[in-house]
Structure 1
Amino acid sequence: MKLIVQIPCLNEEETLPSVLATIPRQVPGVDEVEILVIDDGCTDRTVEVAREHGVTHFVHHARTQGLGRSFRDGVVRSLELGADVVVNTDGDNQYPQERIPDLVRPIVEGRADLVIADRQTHLIGHFSPLKKLLQRVGSAVVNRAAGTDLPDAASGFRAYSRESLMVLNAITRFSYTMETIIQAGNKRLKIESVPITTNAKSRESRLFRSTPEHVAKSAAAIVRSYMMYKPYVLFAWLTAVFGFLGMIPFVRYGILWLRNREDGHLQSLLLGALLLILAFMSLMLGVISDLIRSNRVLIEDNLEHTKRSRFHVPYPGVDLPARAPVRGLDRAAER
């Protein structure tokens, strides 16, 4: 079994040595441990530092592509290298790499497809009360959308089984963390959480410039991911709300008509008609979005088949003859 630890980096020459030095080279249940550094448009000596510390696998981006794209390209390269388990960590030394064996263990033992480190944000000293509250609210919203019960949905310290990577498809460039949980939950993957204690803060986050920006982008990612799997829920609610509100003016006008007081109340009919039109439009959008969802499911099935063929990963319960992993990356070439 091969484990690949991938590290997305954006100018991490100062902290990367600490990360590389603490990654265990021996993990119970794993035969090989290799490290992959994703150079997301670094302009400092990050790549040189990684080479000096023995890293031989890289993915290079000429310009900064974002964390989501870095994660996707790293996963593709890891699968090409024959990874059975992929651990994603950060180059800022936020996470305790010594806990990688604990992240990998549930996958090695066959108990989980995805393992997420719980940073226990309530114990992090440099997190403000507002940030801790937003973390709890964000995790609760993601759990609601995914049907999961995870204490820290935003944690990027994770372990993925090869099987899970066959069915997960990150889309957003901002951050894949919440999106992949919603996908994994709706695809009935087994997810576990492992509590950890984070390292001391080394720098400010480069993923967002302010808390409002982080909240806005995270909310957009959650809504987009949820709409991919259950669009009919939103439109069903909109149809019900607009339909109920639209009937109120008609009922009011009917009561006035029975009392011979209908004159001068045509505005009620106009308002009711407008709301009922909105209800009908919501219903039609719900039908269309559900058809699009069905089409996306077929596309994802085809994408999974393509991945399994490319990386020679059989479907569960099906054995295929051994073959060397495919080499080469189309858009993020190894140097």
Structure 2
Amino acid sequence: MKLVVQVPCLNEEETLPSVLETIPKEIPGIDEIVILIVDDGCTDRTVEVAKEHGVREFVHHSRNQGLGRSFHDGVVRALELGADIVVNTDGDNQYPQERITDLVQPIINGQADIVIGDRQVDRIEHFSGLKKKLQKVGSKVVNMAAETDLPDAASGFRAYSRESLMLLNTVTRFSYCMETIIQAGNKRMKIASVPIETNAKTRESRLFKSMPEHIMKSGAAIVRSYMMYKPYAIFVWLTAFFFVLGAIPFLRYLVLWLSGDNGNHIQSLLLGGVLINLAFMSAMLGVISDLIRTNRVLIEDDLEHTKKARFGKSGTEMLRDQTSVAQFDLPHTQTRTTAQSGETWTTSL
């Protein structure tokens, strides 16, 4: 099997050596390990440092494209290289690369399609109490949307099988973490977790400038991904919400009318009419969005076939083909014995 370890980088010349030096050189069940650096617009010596450490595969961005785009482009290149498994780690050395061996084992053994390194958030010293709580809340929300039970949905230390990457299609450019879990969960992939301990903090996060920004962007990514697969769930609740609110003014008007109050309560009818109209519009949007979801499923089926045609065979399949050709080219011998004389001879085929 062929493993590609992709490392998205943005000016990581100081920490990248530690990352590259701790990536395993040999892993049981893996025949070849390739390191792929995704240069997301680096302006320092990140690329030169990688080359000095023997890296030969790169994806270059002329300017910073974001983590989501870096993941997408890295996966495309990894599949072009024939990867059977793709591991994503970070260039800031926050993840323990030596645990890649444990990360890929469930995929090698056929027990999982995706494996996520559980950072055990409660044990991360440089995380504030608020950040730990938000991480847990975020994981719960993602688990609800994906119908999974993962302890650390935000971890970027992951291993993907080739088959899973053929089915995943990232859209957001902020971060792929939430989106890929929601997609994988709704596509009934097997997702496993491996407990890890992160390394000491080396720098501040470049993914977001403040906690409110992180919450807003992550929340938007979760809602967008969830709506792609279960839009009717959201619009059903919106329809029910507006319908109930709209029914209240109508009931108020009816009660007042039955009680003999002849006052002018046209405002209740107007408000109720507006809210009921919003409920009707939500229901129609739900129908339309569900039709779009159906169309998306069909498009993703076509994308899967397109990817398989584009990226061809995996490293394992190519090795198997080479072995078959080698065996076919070897001279074969056939031994025959005559029934009467018992004479034996060998013929090369």
Which residue is equivalent to 1:97?
A: 97
State the secondary structure of the residue aligned to 2:160. Answer: strand
My pick for the range that moved more, 258-267 or 158-167, is 258-267
Q: Measure, in 2, the Cα distance between the counterparts of 1:214 and 1:260.
A: 56
1:216-270 C-alpha deviation (Å, 9 max, x unpaired): 1101100110011111111100111111111121122122222221431111111
Aligned residue identity for 2:300:
E
Aligned residue identity for 1:173:
R
Which residue is equivalent to 1:216?
A: 216
Deviation at 1:313, TM superposition (A): 5.0
Quickly say closer, same or farther: Cα 1:299–1:322, change in 2 above 3 A.
farther
Which residue is equivalent to 2:200?
A: 200
Q: Measure, in 2, the Cα distance between the counterparts of 1:73 and 1:110.
A: 26
Aligned length: 319
Segments of 5+ residues of structure 1 without an aligned counterpart are 315-320, 324-335
Equivalences for residues 271-282 of structure 1 within 5 A? 271-282=271-282
Residue identity (%): 74
Q: Measure, in 2, the Cα distance between the counterparts of 1:272 and 1:262.
A: 19
Q: Measure, in 2, the Cα distance between the counterparts of 1:3 and 1:313.
A: 14
Is the 1:89–1:95 contact (alpha carbons within 8 Å) kept by the matching residues of 2? yes
Equivalences for residues 77-96 of structure 1 within 5 A? 77-96=77-96
Is the 1:139–1:152 contact (alpha carbons within 8 Å) kept by the matching residues of 2? yes
Which residue is equivalent to 1:291?
A: 291
Q: Does residue 263 of structure 1 match 2:263?
A: yes
Q: Measure, in 1, the Cα distance between the counterparts of 2:62 and 2:235.
A: 41
Aligned residue identity for 1:159:
A
Which residue is equivalent to 1:137?
A: 137
1:95-135 C-alpha deviation (Å, 9 max, x unpaired): 00010010000000000000000000100110000000100
Which residue is equivalent to 2:180?
A: 180
Q: Does residue 44 of structure 1 match 2:49?
A: no
Segments of 5+ residues of structure 2 without an aligned counterpart are 315-319, 323-349
Q: Does residue 156 of structure 1 match 2:174?
A: no
Is the 1:253–1:262 contact (alpha carbons within 8 Å) kept by the matching residues of 2? no
Is the 1:103–1:116 contact (alpha carbons within 8 Å) kept by the matching residues of 2? yes
Aligned residue identity for 1:4:
V
Q: Measure, in 2, the Cα distance between the counterparts of 1:237 and 1:313.
A: 45
Quickly say closer, same or farther: Cα 1:95–1:124, change in 2 above 3 A.
same
My pick for the range that moved more, 257-266 or 63-72, is 257-266
Which residue is equivalent to 2:237?
A: 237
Which residue is equivalent to 2:333?
A: none
Q: Measure, in 2, the Cα distance between the counterparts of 1:78 and 1:183.
A: 20
Which residue is equivalent to 1:226?
A: 226
Q: Measure, in 2, the Cα distance between the counterparts of 1:262 and 1:135.
A: 56
Aligned residue identity for 1:46:
T
Which residue is equivalent to 1:327?
A: none
State the secondary structure of the residue aligned to 1:29. Answer: coil
Which residue is equivalent to 2:328?
A: none
State the secondary structure of the residue aligned to 1:303. Answer: helix
1:77-103 C-alpha deviation (Å, 9 max, x unpaired): 000001000000000000000100100
Which residue is equivalent to 1:317?
A: none
Q: Measure, in 1, the Cα distance between the counterparts of 2:259 and 2:171.
A: 59
Q: Measure, in 1, the Cα distance between the counterparts of 2:92 and 2:134.
A: 22
Aligned residue identity for 2:126:
H
Q: Measure, in 1, the Cα distance between the counterparts of 2:313 and 2:262.
A: 71
1:133-168 C-alpha deviation (Å, 9 max, x unpaired): 100000000000000000100000000000000000
Aligned residue identity for 1:157:
F
Q: Measure, in 1, the Cα distance between the counterparts of 2:292 and 2:221.
A: 18
Which residue is equivalent to 2:339?
A: none
Deviation at 1:322, TM superposition (A): 4.8
Q: Does residue 35 of structure 1 match 2:35?
A: yes
Aligned residue identity for 1:259:
S
State the secondary structure of the residue aligned to 2:76. Answer: helix
Taking structure 2 as the reference length, what is the TM-score of the superposition?
0.89
Is the 1:138–1:153 contact (alpha carbons within 8 Å) kept by the matching residues of 2? yes
Q: Measure, in 1, the Cα distance between the counterparts of 2:54 and 2:48.
A: 10
State the secondary structure of the residue aligned to 1:138. Answer: helix
Which residue is equivalent to 2:326?
A: none
